[in-house]
């Protein structure tokens, strides 16, 4: 289960930077960076991916995914079964699909003498208004599905 404080932080921030890991059916690993992630509960994560992305294809093939989350005082990996729950978000101009992962394992990556001091720093560039609007559409769909 994800710690409640992390779930609360993710919900407070809306978009949350994290690393997603998947494999294809031959076992080839793939990692990518995403921010459209919404913790529906301590056990269920929803996330949105460009439909044509390698990550989206891998999840369709293997139904598994893992995440790495960084936040103050935490470095967590979580693993689970994942599936597509919305093939395409109609309101978004390019194809974006929504996935849901049921977490079956959470690992704490910290060790004595070191910690994590923040979340992964990131910022939108370009048209900030458009990006904020896109984020808000995707979050709304993930929350209401």
Ligand X SMILES: Cc1cc2nc3c(=O)[nH]c(=O)nc-3n(C[C@H](O)[C@H](O)[C@H](O)COP(=O)(O)O)c2cc1C
Looking at beta carbons only, is 7 or 139 nearer to ligand X?
Answer: 139
Q: Is 43 a binder of ligand X (CB under 6 A)? A: no
Nearest residue to 16 via CA among 40, 33, 4: 33
Which is nearer to ligand X, 21 or 108 (by Cβ)? Answer: 21
Distance of closest approach, residue 114 Cβ to ligand X, in angstroms: 25
Which DSSP helix (H) or strand (E) runs through 31? strand 29-34
Is residue 53 at the binding interface for ligand X, with CB under 6 A as the rule? yes
Q: Tokens for 5, please give them.
A: 């404080």
> What are the CA-CA distances from residue 1 to residues 4, 15, 104 (Å)?
9, 20, 8
Q: Which of 9, 19, 24, 32 binds ligand X (CB under 6 A)?
A: 32
Interface positions, 67-126, toward ligand X (CB under 6 A): 122
CA distances to 44, 105, 137 from 81, rounded to whole Å, are 10, 10, 25
Residue 48 or 103 with smaller CB distance to ligand X: 48
Candidates 47-55, 61-69, 81-89, 126-134; binding stretch for ligand X (CB under 6 A): 47-55
Phi-psi region of 27 (alpha: psi -120 to 50; beta: other; left: phi over 0): left
54 binds ligand X (CB under 6 A): yes
Residues at the interface with ligand X (CB under 6 A): 32-36, 48-50, 53-55, 122
């Amino acid at each position: 289960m994800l710690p409640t404080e992390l779930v609360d932080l993710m919900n407070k921030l809306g978009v949350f930077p994290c690393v997603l890991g998947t494999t294809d059916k031959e076992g080839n690993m793939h990692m990518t960076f995403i921010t459209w992630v919404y913790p529906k509960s301590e056990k269920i994560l929803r996330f949105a991916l460009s439909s044509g992305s390698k990550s989206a294809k891998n999840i369709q093939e293997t139904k598994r995914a893992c995440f790495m989350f960084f936040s103050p005082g935490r470095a967590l990996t979580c693993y689970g079964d994942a599936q597509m729950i919305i093939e395409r978000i109609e309101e978004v101009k390019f194809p974006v699909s929504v996935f849901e992962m049921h977490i079956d394992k959470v690992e704490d990556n910290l060790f004595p003498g070191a910690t994590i001091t923040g979340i992964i720093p990131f910022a939108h560039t370009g048209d900030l208004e458009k990006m904020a609007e896109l984020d808000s559409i995707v979050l709304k769909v993930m929350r209401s599905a």
